[in-house]
């Protein structure tokens, strides 16, 4: 039986420079789902059906997985043009001054409320409409300027960042800009630009990382003029203050290849619609002023014209929205990490223990250097990707996922280490510090607030699955049919001949000398890092191919192994972006020695992590870990539960 996991057998041509196997007449399933549970299969099928095929040229990061190192796609670094900078500067200056003078982030954290005046003032200055075109009442600024705004917000107050970001990056503006009709844009964009907060409602009790499990229903009315929504959504950020929501709901299933396929559709829903109830406000470890809650729908009637894109395209709307929307969190992480670095550097100088400032002790110096290197790399990848988005430089979903995953994890480590550097003062609240006469430095708040970044808008685990899926794509298109036990043998043999000729050319090339391209405009100290990245990209491609040969269709289950390949590619992306960024700083007249010491440290540190990932691909405890967890889940090892309350 065929699965609906079809992808056109598009050819991976330009980038590999290898003649491709002949196009197959019938589309071949690319992932073997035959050994999967029903729920797992449905989740995958829905994700696959909502996934746009990768751009044939790939992107800088996606090509790393096939041993193709196209440094010229990210070098010279796409620095912000003077014109774009000048357009954003007045707003960014106003925002910076406003935050410093008028937003008391600790008070917001303590009370769990953002003063309405702050929200009104931010609306008035256009902070909720940074990318909305001016014709709809927005500022019409670029992704880079939006990222710079998120960086400012992230360095000051995570609650405001979440309010502004959930509204613009995933709430009504972004999906409407991407998929909305002219009528929808004309009706809703002016509202959400200047007066109404919006939100994005996808998650439910049984549908977190797995939207296929969604149960909220949208049934077409008899006359076809409306949808009737019934169900509940959980953890909807901004809900408590929102005027309009983007809601994902199940619509009537479709029959594909004789089988029923679930359909998810996206709607704009006015919060004041009869039958819609804000049922509960949720509270969290951090983000104490998040206006997040549960929303119930009881026969809520939504006009048909509020459907975003076509029926059944809801998940595609969500995934595409997030492809760019996902860049806001890393930009905010850059801001927060810079702030934490500033706090730590100052404290490392001021605090004297054992006769010297603590920054003179190797243990503390190591932490601060690591922070600095990661801040630089984080800024490099985030603003590189943002600039490429502005330049519409192809398919950047892997880059944005890497930015989200890497920046949120690095920021968590930085916040954790910042707490260690500040010692007991790091653990003490800002209010308590001030109460006894010390500066109220809120490391404790920053740590609480940034933890969620690794969970929402795609958890780190889901980002790795997403990156791995795209990384395997060229191989699945060419060689996927060979491994697929669901296909008739004749089709598998045919695929073997076709892809065999591809691999007989591609594979030996992964052992030839790597070409990093023309590096004459790169500082001599940075060149070895780029040559290393080019070489290591081939090693990565070989490793991934060997893993495919070894595990075949079961590779999809080897999440820990795949996560190491994702980690290697992400670190290579960081090294490459860091060097490109460093050169742009040198060219702009920044002190060469300072830039080089930072970039060299960031690259060396990334190489150590890459070594660690590679070591884990050949020697690891993955299978044992899996088996042990299954034992625990089956109720074994009861002794581990003894002696506790």
Ligand X SMILES: Cc1cc2nc3c(=O)[nH]c(=O)nc-3n(C[C@H](O)[C@H](O)[C@H](O)COP(=O)(O)OP(=O)(O)OC[C@H]3O[C@@H](n4cnc5c(N)ncnc54)[C@H](O)[C@@H]3O)c2cc1C
Of residues 239 and 433, the one with the C-beta less far from ligand X: 239
Contact call for residue 209 and ligand X (CB under 6 A): yes
Burial class (CB in 10 A: 0-12, 13-18, 19+), 630: exposed
* Shortest distance, position 200 Cβ to ligand X, whole Å: 5
Q: How many residues bind ligand X (CB under 6 A)?
A: 23
Which of these, 462, 456, 426, lies nearest to 441 by C-alpha position?
A: 426
Contact call for residue 431 and ligand X (CB under 6 A): no
Of residues 237 and 576, the one with the C-beta less far from ligand X: 237
What would the two tokens of residue 469 be? 């899926």
Contact call for residue 466 and ligand X (CB under 6 A): no
Of residues 208 and 303, the one with the C-beta less far from ligand X: 208
Half-sphere exposure of residue 316, counting CA atoms within 13 Å on the CB side?
Answer: 17
CA 88, CA 642: separation in Å to the nearest integer? 60
Contact call for residue 252 and ligand X (CB under 6 A): no
Half-sphere exposure of residue 10, counting CA atoms within 13 Å on the CB side?
Answer: 14
- Give the number of other CB atoms < 10 A from CB of residue 195: 13
Residue among 60, 65, 227, 235 that touches ligand X (CB under 6 A)? 235
Contact call for residue 622 and ligand X (CB under 6 A): no
Of residues 379 and 449, the one with the C-beta less far from ligand X: 449
* Shortest distance, position 448 Cβ to ligand X, whole Å: 12
Residue among 461, 496, 551, 597 that touches ligand X (CB under 6 A)? 461
Of residues 99 and 465, the one with the C-beta less far from ligand X: 465
Alpha carbon distance, N-terminus to C-terminus of the chain: 52
Contact call for residue 452 and ligand X (CB under 6 A): yes
CA 447, CA 232: separation in Å to the nearest integer? 31
Piece of 131-139, 148-156, 200-208, 620-628 that binds ligand X (CB under 6 A): 200-208
* Shortest distance, position 310 Cβ to ligand X, whole Å: 21
Residue among 79, 203, 265, 313 that touches ligand X (CB under 6 A)? 203
Q: Is 457 a catalytic residue?
A: yes
Contact 2, 29 (CB under 8 A): yes
Residue among 36, 54, 229, 236 that touches ligand X (CB under 6 A)? 236
Binders of ligand X among 546-605, rule CB under 6 A? 559
* Shortest distance, position 266 Cβ to ligand X, whole Å: 12
* Shortest distance, position 238 Cβ to ligand X, whole Å: 7
* Shortest distance, position 477 Cβ to ligand X, whole Å: 22
CA 458, CA 404: separation in Å to the nearest integer? 9
Dihedral of the CA atoms 619, 66, 463, 387 (nearest 10)? 140
Quick one: which H or E segment has residue 246? Answer: strand 242-256
Residue among 112, 115, 208, 440 that touches ligand X (CB under 6 A)? 208
Of residues 35 and 505, the one with the C-beta less far from ligand X: 35
Which of these, 335, 370, 344, lies nearest to 95 by C-alpha position?
A: 335
CA angle centred on 416, ends 414 and 418, rounded to 5°: 65
CA 271, CA 295: separation in Å to the nearest integer? 10
Contact call for residue 459 and ligand X (CB under 6 A): yes
Residue among 159, 198, 237, 408 that touches ligand X (CB under 6 A)? 237
Of residues 240 and 582, the one with the C-beta less far from ligand X: 240
Dihedral of the CA atoms 610, 612, 614, 620 (nearest 10)? -150
Whose CB is nearest to ligand X?
Answer: 208
Residue among 456, 483, 502, 545 that touches ligand X (CB under 6 A)? 456
* Shortest distance, position 211 Cβ to ligand X, whole Å: 9
* Shortest distance, position 447 Cβ to ligand X, whole Å: 15
C-alpha distance from residue 440 to each of 154, 160, 347, 368 (Å): 18, 19, 13, 21
Rounded-to-5 percentages of helix, strand, coil across the chain? 60, 10, 30
Residue among 292, 323, 537, 570 that touches ligand X (CB under 6 A)? 292
**Which residue of the set 42, 409, 444, 457 is catalytic?**
457
* Shortest distance, position 557 Cβ to ligand X, whole Å: 10
CA 585, CA 577: separation in Å to the nearest integer? 12
Contact call for residue 528 and ligand X (CB under 6 A): no
Interface mask toward ligand X for 153-192; x: CB under 6 A = -------------x--------------------------
Place of tokens 């795609």: 458
Contact 66, 78 (CB under 8 A): no
CA 481, CA 497: separation in Å to the nearest integer? 11
Q: Which residues bind ligand X (CB under 6 A)?
A: 166, 199-203, 208-209, 235-237, 284, 287, 290, 292, 452, 455-456, 459, 461-462, 465, 559
Catalytic residue numbers read 457
């Amino acid at each position: 039986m065929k699965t609906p996991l079809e992808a056109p057998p598009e050819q991976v041509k330009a980038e590999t420079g290898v003649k491709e196997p002949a196009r197959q007449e019938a589309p071949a399933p690319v992932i073997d789902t035959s050994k999967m549970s029903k729920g797992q299969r449905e989740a995958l099928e829905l994700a696959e059906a909502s996934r746009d095929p990768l751009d044939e040229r790939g992107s800088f990061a996606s090509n790393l997985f096939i041993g193709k190192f196209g440094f010229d796609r990210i070098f010279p670094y796409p620095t912000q043009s003077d014109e774009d900078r000048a357009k954003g500067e007045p707003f960014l200056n106003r925002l910076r001054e406003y935050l410093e003078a008028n937003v008391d982030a600790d008070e917001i954290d303590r009370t769990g409320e953002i003063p309405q005046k702050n929200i009104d003032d931010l609306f008035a200055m256009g902070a909720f409409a940074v990318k909305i075109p001016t014709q709809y009442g927005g500022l019409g600024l670029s992704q880079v300027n939006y990222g710079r705004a998120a960086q400012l917000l992230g360095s000051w107050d995570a609650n405001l960042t979440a309010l502004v970001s959930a509204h613009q990056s995933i709430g009504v503006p972004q999906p409407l800009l991407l998929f909305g009709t002219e009528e929808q844009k004309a009706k809703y964009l002016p509202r959400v630009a200047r007066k109404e907060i919006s939100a994005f409602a996808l998650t439910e009790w049984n549908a977190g990382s797995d939207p296929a499990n969604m149960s909220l229903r949208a049934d077409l009315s008899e006359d076809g003029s409306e949808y009737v929504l019934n169900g509940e959504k959980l953890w909807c950020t901004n809900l408590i203050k929102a005027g309009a929501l983007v809601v994902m709901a199940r619509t009537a299933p479709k029959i594909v290849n004789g089988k029923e396929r679930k359909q998810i559709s996206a709607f704009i829903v006015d919060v004041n619609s009869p039958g819609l109830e804000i049922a509960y406000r949720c509270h969290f470890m951090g983000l104490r002023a998040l206006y997040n809650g549960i929303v119930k729908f009881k026969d809520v009637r939504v006009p048909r014209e509020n459907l975003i894109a076509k029926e059944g395209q809801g998940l595609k709307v969500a995934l595409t929205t997030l492809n760019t929307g996902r860049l806001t969190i890393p930009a905010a992480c850059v801001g927060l990490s810079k702030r934490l670095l500033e706090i730590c550097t100052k404290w490392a100088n001021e605090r004297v223990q054992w006769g010297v400032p603590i920054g003179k002790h190797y243990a503390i110096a190591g932490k601060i250097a690591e922070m600095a290197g990661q801040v630089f790399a984080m800024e490099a990848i985030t603003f590189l990707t943002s600039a490429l988005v502005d330049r519409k430089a192809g398919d950047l979903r892997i880059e944005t996922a890497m930015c989200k995953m890497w920046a949120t994890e690095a920021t968590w480590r930085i916040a954790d280490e910042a707490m260690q550097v500040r010692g007991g003062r790091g653990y003490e609240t800002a209010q308590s510090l001030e109460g006894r006469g010390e500066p109220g430095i809120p490391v404790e708040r920053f740590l609480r607030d940034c933890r969620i970044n690794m969970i929402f808008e795609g958890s780190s685990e889901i980002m790795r699955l997403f990156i791995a899926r795209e990384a395997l794509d060229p191989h699945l298109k060419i060689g996927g049919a060979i491994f697929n036990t669901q296909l008739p043998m004749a089709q598998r043999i045919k695929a073997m001949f076709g892809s065999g000729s591809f691999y007989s050319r591609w594979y030996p090339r992964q052992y030839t000398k790597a070409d990093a391209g023309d590096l004459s405009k790169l500082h001599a100290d940075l060149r070895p890092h780029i040559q290393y990245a080019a070489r290591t990209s081939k090693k990565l491609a070989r490793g991934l191919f060997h893993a495919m040969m070894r595990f075949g269709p079961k590779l999809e289950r080897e999440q820990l192994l795949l996560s190491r390949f994702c980690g290697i590619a992400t670190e290579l992306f960081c090294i490459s972006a860091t060097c490109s960024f460093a050169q742009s700083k040198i060219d702009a007249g920044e002190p060469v020695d300072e830039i080089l010491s930072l970039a060299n440290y960031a690259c060396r540190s990334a190489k150590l992590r890459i070594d660690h990932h590679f070591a884990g691909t050949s020697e690891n405890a993955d299978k044992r870990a899996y088996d042990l967890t299954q034992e625990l889940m089956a109720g074994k090892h009861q002794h581990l539960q003894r002696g506790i309350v």
